[in-house]
Amino acid sequence: MASFKAYLNNNAPFLNARDKWQAAGSKRAAAQARWEAAKETDANYDSLLNAFKTAQEAERVAKVVKDAAEDKARTAYNKIEDEKKAKEQKKKDAVTQKSIDTVQAEVDKYTRAGLTVPADKQEELNSLKNKLGGGLTTTTTTTSPDAGTAGAATGTTPTQVGLEDFLKNLNDNPKAVNQVKSYLGITNLDGVLDYETISKIYSKEKEIETLVGIRGPIDRLTYYAQTKGTGTGAGGTSIDRSTNIFTDAEAIAVVQKLYKTLLNAEPTPDEQLKLAKKLQDAQKKNPVVIKAKTVNGVREAVTTGGLDPEDFLTDEIKKDPRYSKKKEQAFSTSRATLAATARANGLDLDKNFGSQVDDFLNRINNGEDIKNIQNIIRKQSRLFLPESVRNSIDADTDLTSALGIYVNDYAKSKGVSADQIDINEIIPLAVTDKGFAPISEFRKAKKKQAWWADSAEASEEVFQGIGQIFSNFGIMEI
């Protein structure tokens, strides 16, 4: 697998954002040079200063967008690496499992005989089991250059074990307990997995749950290390306040996702920063609070506060006039689709459903599949058909399709296209109490319609009849 730097250099969104950032940097440098060269007494001094400030802010915005694109690329890269590592780990686990089966059989032999299992055998078995899934610290760390900036960034590709297994493995390893405690800012490094440590782990787990949908897979221990706090010690408070404030890149990632979903558009740099700041301010005002509580003699952590970042930003984006316009367009499109379905089943949407139409449109707008509503219309159109006919037509099939052979024949006789035929003209001729009429009977009934005598088909039959008469008398047609 190529390095992250190589992956990044082939990532179009990042390269585009980086180019814009570099271009903004060049503009800022030029504006800065012009301002520095000016004297405060110059007439254009203020305008040069304002131009420099504007260029400086544009560069900052461009960098935030570039960083967000880089984070998004890193998530995609890490996902590919994760899948690769997971496959490798699966192969290793298969080999380890074979060894476990062999040693387990030996251990079982001692147990069945009522003998004490040798310590070395039990240790070997435990050691092999701990290797499954990569053990406690199931993390592979790769270091790759951070394109566009100085220094290096660390990318982690986890094979994450469940929280319950993580705590079990941790409880058996005092050294690992102290490592985790140091990450969590706890100064009492006694190797004991106590309530304070577990409470903080659960708090971090909630943070990871919030971020994983945005950043992709997050390794537990790496996240602990990156968000290391200040310790409270053995006698510290039992309340853990976590503001869960997103970085600019994290907030912008959510903004971009919701703009695509709600507006089908890309937010401008200014829109991204404006909404990101609103989210960050809201997160500061609504911190997550985890407080120890005793219930029936059992200490447990109670979490309150916090906010859902997507819900918050969704409410903000819905204030955009474009959202209302898109909603109106969606309503118009849905109404047109339902009206076409009604016509295809011999109904008029407004006349036959009246006030129900608004309810239909709201249900669709709230996420219900439009096919459900179309089937309601189809079901209504079949109420007066014989039961045998109703039962023979699929729920999601229009009457114009079910009676297609009759519709096409009728349209051909009239000299028009099939979509110009009103299905209500077809039903009395094609449907009987016993079911669908034979096509020959349908055609006989069709010829009794008032319009048929004036049709081209009728004229053709007349000419054919005359021709037959001439033929019978041995007269050649002229």
Reported as a single tens digit per residue, the pLDDT across 377-401 is 999 999 989 988 988 899 999 999 9
- Taking alpha carbons only, the member of 159, 21, 6 closest to residue 77 is 6
Reported as a single tens digit per residue, the pLDDT across 50-92 is 888 888 888 887 887 888 888 888 888 888 888 888 888 888 8
What's residue 233's pLDDT?
35
- State residue 160 phi and psi, 5-degree precision: -75, 130
Name residue 436's beta-bridge partners.
Answer: 431
Identity at 469, one-letter amino acid code: I
Segments of 433-474 assigned E as strands: 435-436
Domain ranges of the chain: 1-133, 160-237, 243-318, 320-381, 399-478
Residues 163 and 202: their CA atoms lie apart, in Å, by 9
What's residue 292's pLDDT?
61
Q: Please provide the distance, in angstroms rounded to a whole number, between the alpha carbons at the two ends of the chain.
A: 84
79: tokens are 């996902």
Residues 288 and 303: their CA atoms lie apart, in Å, by 7
Residue numbers in the chain where pLDDT is lower than 70: 1-2, 133-160, 210-216, 227-244, 290-295, 297-303, 462-478
Report CA dihedral (148, 150, 151, 156) to the nearest 10 degrees. -20
Instruction: Tell me how far CA of residue 395 lies from CA of 165, 374, 382, 388, 429, in angstroms.
Output: 49, 9, 10, 14, 22
- Taking alpha carbons only, the member of 100, 165, 95 closest to residue 126 is 100
What's residue 157's pLDDT?
41
382: tokens are 């079949």
Identity at 368, one-letter amino acid code: E
Residues 6+ apart with CB under 8 A from 65: 17, 20, 21, 252, 269, 272
In contact, 161 and 155? CB cutoff 8 Å:
no
What's residue 70's pLDDT?
86
Residues 6+ apart with CB under 8 A from 379: 395
Question: What is the pTM for the complete model shown?
Answer: 0.41
